[in-house]
Amino acid sequence: MTDVAKAGETRRRNDIRDRWLLSAPALTLIAIAGTGPLLIVLIYSFLAPGSYGDVKWEFSPNGWFNVFLSRDIFDNTVSLADAHYTIFWRTLRLALATTVLCLLLGFPLAYFIASRPPGSRSIWLFLITIPFWTNMLIRTFAIAEVIRNEGIINSLLMRLGLLVAPVQMLFTDFATLVGMTYVHLPLMVLPLYASLEKLDFRLVEAGYDLYASRFGVLLRIIVPLTRPGIIAGSILVFVPALSSYVIPLVLGGGKNLMIGNLIELQFGQGRNWPLGAALSVTLVLVVMIAVIFYMRNAGEPGGRAHG
Amino acid sequence: MMAAAYESGAISLEGVMKRFGDFQAVDNVTLDIKLNEFFTLLGPSGCGKTTLLRMIAGFEMPSGGRILLDGKEISDLLPNQRPVNTVFQNYALFPHMSVAGNIGFGLKMLGRPKGEIRAAVAEMLRLVQLEGRGDSAVTQLSGGQQQRVALARALAPRPKVLLLDEPLSALDLKLRKSMQIELKRLQAETGITFVFVTHDQEEALSMSDRIAVMSHGKVRQVGSPADIYHRPADRFVADFIGETNFIEADAVSIAGGVARVRLPSGVEIPATFPAGVTPSGKVTVVIRPEHAQMVAQAGDGALRGIVGDIIYLGTDTHFHVRLDDGSPFIVRRQNATNGPSEFSPGESVGIRISDNVAQIVMNQP
Amino acid sequence: MARTFSVRRQSGFATVAMLCFFLLYLPIAALVVYAFNAGTSIAIWEGFSLRWFVSAWNNQQVVEASWRSLRIAAIAAVLATACATLAALATTHTAPYRGLTAKYAFINMPLLVPEIVTAVALLVFFSRVKLWTGYSGLGYLILAHSAFCVPFAYLPIRARLESMDASLGRAAADLYATPLQIFRHVTLPLLWPGVFAGLMLAFIISLDDVVITEFVKSSGQDTLPTYMLGQLRRAITPEMNAISTVFLLLSLSLVTVFFCLSRNRKKES
């Protein structure tokens, strides 16, 4: 190698070193106070539970075992952990239902905004982002107030004579679903809007020109072309819905748990840290699978259309 | 005014190489750019001309070879350590600074006193004919004005060499023509060595003192515009610069530095050839369209053919002729009068070739 | 007379959109309205009064929690934005190098990992650290908030850097600026709107957090959201509405400033 080539190589290496130094504070911060401690959780999931919370430093597969199976404390028979499956199933069902509801409401909403004149679009979008940036807890609280027994909906229906007694909505799965949809709707609308805004309406014109109906155009042209936005929005809603904690706590009440609350329970009253750790790792894995699915599918429309 | 001529600013490239992974962007380039010269690197996109310029500026490090400025090696200096300034293709004006802020930036970085900077900025504004626009925001200027600011900014620190990376490519045709003249004037007035990169052969021919034609990372030929146009060294150069007719011929003899070649029609004509080669056997001869004339009697010309398309281009007319052996040949004729052409498609014609215009070119290796 | 045909129209979409806007704002509006209720109910209107705002203002716990929230958010936002700015500089305008993608993924990881999982991980880790060091101050909350705010600050800063013309830095270097001078005279002034946006996002995100704070805080370190979460389990008075209204107002003004800034920026370019 010539001197100048060596000098170039040194300069390149110094540049990379500087870039690592520059990113060191952020990486360190996240490693110690962000997602780094997840490693500890992973380790804990293979340890034995301590008597008053915490762990004993000995290997035990029981944390993972207990995620899916339960051993009867009297006769030692092994059966499926029904209570956990109920919670998993509720979590999955509610997360999927939230995603579908958000999509059904969010698509027309995003389409409506994207079809406004360019000048007023940002105002409409702003109206979507305000709830997005207001405190999630406050929004959950607001929903709770509206649907509680003495809340607006029940008292209005009763005053109108449509109901004799209030309908119990708060502390049900329905309440959790309403709350999650309410809180996560903006997360669906924003990527949908980004896709719809880029939509080339000449293609829609071409669709009409070739005898498609309004619904045909929607189904065969607009929806396929906005697929990246639909996938992005669905993942953005599905992932946080899956790991909800506050919403089922406030709206679902104590008994309609989702996996997030189950995890909390193991670190709180349950005092079974390894089980909580194993549940946490499971949740992270499910989320990662969803994200990888998203990354694989969120390319440009047509890129994988025939793949 | 600036000194009419600079005492320094000569660049030597010695075996300069640049690899990006497996791609050889610049392949063993050796060049001497002389003092106070308007030197152009010309070639199609991807030929390595911009990479070569970026290496002179210091934005890229060569993978091999040496770059010297006035005999001193500068290959491993950082861009801010080289007395060389660049006019960028997209101008790269600092959008958050005024026109004056942009022009004075280099001197400010060099730590010059405020008064000196102010005087230099004023002088530069005058030089590029933007007096009174010093406080304008650069984002409010037209493309041509931005171009002038970019020039003034690069000239303000009085670099020994000014590098220009396709600076006119974003301008429309009319503005481009006037900026070409402007650049020529600036170069003459400042006496700074200009190294100009372009893919536009007309621009290169009209502005440069000398041109280096590049392709695939190599320099094909270095010479004056007339040299490059009339005496292309190889087929690539002949093809890239201007319109050209290629005729396969046999070299018959060489005498006094001029070869005689036999054309397919059997007629023999003299032809020059590049230095360092001895043409023999099958050779390719280059004849520019304006160096051939059509004659009505097929037998009177050096070549014979049948008129195909006739394309009227305002100042001149192009006749596309199919030669007897089937190869195409273009004749350009100036429209001295506005009468109708005396030739029509399908007509059999002869083609006469002017004296001493044929050039033998080497086929690319 | 003639029926106009709009290519863009889809029947029913506008109705759904309006319904969505109505539903989005109805609970918030109800929340705000009942903050001014003279009675103790959050459903039966008994006349206008500011009593709940006064009561919240006089509630020592609320004032302390609010003050703590603001302090944590301010420090965490500055820390996160500083780290994010440096990280953005390190990951833009560069040829790909080993570890670049991993670095990018790691910085954004707090966005992907469920909050509850991060929360229990921090609980486990920090409870050990608390034992070792004996320190149990606000530092843990500040560190945790800074960490999950980093990607929120990083994204707008990086976006701004990416959209910045890389040749500006080269032009400055060509005009004799050293790397530090380039940063000071060219990069930072152009990056500033992105940094500001990042700072604001980080501040709002930190202010909103409840899950991680709930698990990391030591006793007596309630922030406003964790205080509210605690209260939600009890009988609720319009005082909660009053606190929420003030909180909403704060977020709203931040978002509005942010919106206006980004709007101006669009006009510039």
- CATH at B312: 2.40.50.140
Residue A199 host element (H or E): none
Higher pLDDT, A157 or C216: C216
Nearest-angstrom CA–CA distance, C146 and C158: 17
Tokens encoding C172: 């400055």
Q: Does C185 touch chain B (CB under 8 A)?
A: yes
Characterize B209-245 residue by residue with b for buried, 16 or more Cβ atoms within 10 angstroms of its Cβ, and e for exposed: bbbbbbbbbbbbbbbebeebbbbbbbbbbbebbbebb
Nearest-angstrom CA–CA distance, B43 and A194: 41
Kindly list the residues from chain A whose CB atom is less than 8 angstroms away from the CB atom of residue B66.
4
pLDDT at site C3: 54
**pLDDT reading at C251 higher than 70:** yes
ipTM: 0.88
Interface A-B, measured as beta-carbon pairs within 8 A, has a size of 25
Q: What is the dihedral of CA B280, B284, B290, B294, to 10 degrees?
A: 90
Nearest-angstrom CA–CA distance, C120 and C143: 15
Tally of structural domains, chain B? 2
Report the SS3 class of residue C30.
Answer: helix
**pLDDT reading at B73 higher than 70:** yes
| Eight-class DSSP state of C133 | H
Same domain, B190 and B249: no
Cα distance from B77 to chain A (closest Cα, Å)?
A: 10
State the residue range of the domain holding A9: 1-36
Q: Is residue B237 part of a domain?
A: no
Q: Is residue A213 part of a domain?
A: yes
Q: Is residue B236 part of a domain?
A: no
Are residues A11 and B61, on separate chains, in Cβ contact within 8 Å? yes
pLDDT at site A305: 35
Kindly list the residues from chain C whose CB atom is less than 8 angstroms away from the CB atom of residue B84.
174
Are residues C174 and B139, on separate chains, in Cβ contact within 8 Å? no
Q: Is residue A58 part of a domain?
A: no
**pLDDT confidence bin for B104, thresholds 50/70/90:** very high
Q: Is residue A32 part of a domain?
A: yes
Contact criterion met (CB below 8 Å) for A60 and A274: yes
Q: Does C94 touch chain B (CB under 8 A)?
A: no
Q: Does A138 touch chain B (CB under 8 A)?
A: no
Same domain, A267 and A121: yes
Mutate one of C69, C124, C212, C246 to test the A interface: name it (highest A CB count within 10 A).
C124
**pLDDT confidence bin for C2, thresholds 50/70/90:** very low
pLDDT at site B150: 94
Which residue of B57, B90, B96 is in closest CB contact with C174? Answer: B57
Chain A contacts in chain C segment 49-78 (CB below 8 A): none
**pLDDT reading at A306 higher than 50:** no
Least confident of A265-279, B222-236, B291-305: B291-305
Are residues C174 and B94, on separate chains, in Cβ contact within 8 Å? no
Same domain, B191 and B266: no
Are residues A133 and C44, on separate chains, in Cβ contact within 8 Å? no
Q: What predicted TM-score, i.e. pTM, was given to this entire model? A: 0.83
- CATH at B195: 3.40.50.300
Same domain, A10 and A94: no
Q: Does B314 touch chain C (CB under 8 A)?
A: no
3-state secondary structure B304-322: EEEEEEEEECCCEEEEEEE
How much is the average pLDDT of A127-133? 85
Are residues B90 and C167, on separate chains, in Cβ contact within 8 Å? yes
Same domain, A24 and A120: no
3-state secondary structure chain B: CCCCCCCCCCEEEEEEEEEECCEEEEEEEEEEECCCCEEEEECCCCCCHHHHHHHHHCCCCCCEEEEEECCEECCCCCHHHCCEEEECCCCCCCCCCEHHHHHHHHHHHCCCCHHHHHHHHHHHHHHCCCCCCCCCEHHHCCHHHHHHHHHHHHHCCCCCEEEEECCCCCCCHHHHHHHHHHHHHHHHHHCCEEEEEECCHHHHHHHCCEEEEEECCEEEEEECHHHHHHCCCEHHHHHHCCCCEEEEEEEEEEECCEEEEECCCCCEEEEECCCCCCCCEEEEEEECHHHEEEECCHHHCCEEEEEEEEEECCCEEEEEEEECCCCEEEEEEECCCCCCCCCCCCCEEEEEECCCCCEEEECCC
Q: Does B21 touch chain C (CB under 8 A)?
A: no
Domain boundary among B209, B230, B251: B230
Chain A contacts in chain B segment 64-83 (CB below 8 A): 64-66, 75-76
Nearest-angstrom CA–CA distance, A139 and A26: 31
Kindly list the residues from chain C whose CB atom is less than 8 angstroms away from the CB atom of residue B89.
167
pLDDT at site A304: 37
Kindly list the residues from chain C whose CB atom is less than 8 angstroms away from the CB atom of residue B79.
170, 173-174
Same domain, B160 and B74: yes
Alpha-carbon distances, residue C97 vs B59, B185, C84 (angstroms): 18, 45, 19
Chain A contacts in chain C segment 166-195 (CB below 8 A): none
Same domain, A106 and A191: yes
Are residues C178 and B90, on separate chains, in Cβ contact within 8 Å? no
How many C-alpha atoms does B204 have within 13 Å on its Cβ side? 31
Provide the CATH number for the domain formed by C60-268 in this structure.
1.10.3720.10
Nearest-angstrom CA–CA distance, C109 and A24: 15
Same domain, B23 and B109: yes
Are residues A35 and C109, on separate chains, in Cβ contact within 8 Å? yes
Are residues C173 and B58, on separate chains, in Cβ contact within 8 Å? yes
Same domain, A159 and A24: no
Report the SS3 class of residue A53.
Answer: strand
Q: Is residue B2 part of a domain?
A: no
Q: Does A137 touch chain C (CB under 8 A)?
A: yes
Mutate one of A17, A21, A35 to test the C interface: name it (highest C CB count within 10 A).
A35
State the residue range of the domain holding B294: 243-361
Shortest CA distance to B160 belongs to which of B188, B209, B195, B208? B195
Residue type, A161: G
Q: Does B246 touch chain C (CB under 8 A)?
A: no
Tally of structural domains, chain A? 2
Cα distance from A25 to chain B (closest Cα, Å)?
A: 28
Kindly list the residues from chain A whose CB atom is less than 8 angstroms away from the CB atom of residue C42.
145, 150-151
Chain segment B42-53, per-residue pLDDT in tens: 999 989 999 999
How much is the average pLDDT of C137-151? 95
Are residues A2 and B76, on separate chains, in Cβ contact within 8 Å? no
Q: What is the dihedral of CA B134, B139, B142, B148, to 10 degrees?
A: 50
Q: Is residue B73 part of a domain?
A: yes
Measured between CA atoms, the residue of chain C closest to residue A107 is C13
Contact criterion met (CB below 8 Å) for B317 and B309: no
Same domain, B180 and B202: yes
Q: Does B140 touch chain C (CB under 8 A)?
A: no
Higher pLDDT, A183 or B300: A183
Q: How many other CB atoms are there within 10 angstroms of residue C101's CB atom?
A: 11
Least confident of A50-54, B325-329, C155-159, C262-266: C262-266
Nearest-angstrom CA–CA distance, B64 and A7: 10
Report the SS3 class of residue C90.
Answer: helix
Nearest-angstrom CA–CA distance, B194 and B35: 9
Chain segment A56-99, per-residue pLDDT in tens: 888 888 888 888 877 766 777 777 778 888 899 999 999 999 99
Looking at chain B, the whole-number percentage of residues with pLDDT higher than 70 is 96
Shortest CA distance to C73 belongs to which of C156, C136, C140, C145? C145
Kindly list the residues from chain C whose CB atom is less than 8 angstroms away from the CB atom of residue A122.
259, 263
Q: Does B58 touch chain C (CB under 8 A)?
A: yes
- Residue that has been written with the tokens 């976006």 in this structure: C159
pLDDT at site C266: 55
Residue C158: partners with Cβ closer than 8 Å, 6 or more residues away? C88, C91, C92, C194
Nearest-angstrom CA–CA distance, A179 and C106: 31
Nearest-angstrom CA–CA distance, B193 and B10: 7
Cα distance from A61 to chain C (closest Cα, Å)?
A: 19
Q: Does A173 touch chain C (CB under 8 A)?
A: no
Tokens encoding C27: 């609970």
Which residue of C7, C13, C27 is in closest CB contact with A142? Answer: C27
Are residues B61 and A5, on separate chains, in Cβ contact within 8 Å? yes
Report the SS3 class of residue A82.
Answer: helix
Domain boundary among B165, B198, B230: B230
Residue A45 host element (H or E): none
Same domain, B212 and B263: no
Q: Is residue B54 part of a domain?
A: yes
Kindly list the residues from chain A whose CB atom is less than 8 angstroms away from the CB atom of residue C117.
38, 41, 243, 263, 280, 283-284
Neighboring chains of B (3 or more beta-carbon pairs < 8 A): A, C
Cα distance from A220 to chain C (closest Cα, Å)?
A: 14
Kindly list the residues from chain C whose CB atom is less than 8 angstroms away from the CB atom of residue B58.
173-174
What value does the mean pLDDT of chain C take? 88
Same domain, A3 and A130: no
Neighboring chains of A (3 or more beta-carbon pairs < 8 A): B, C
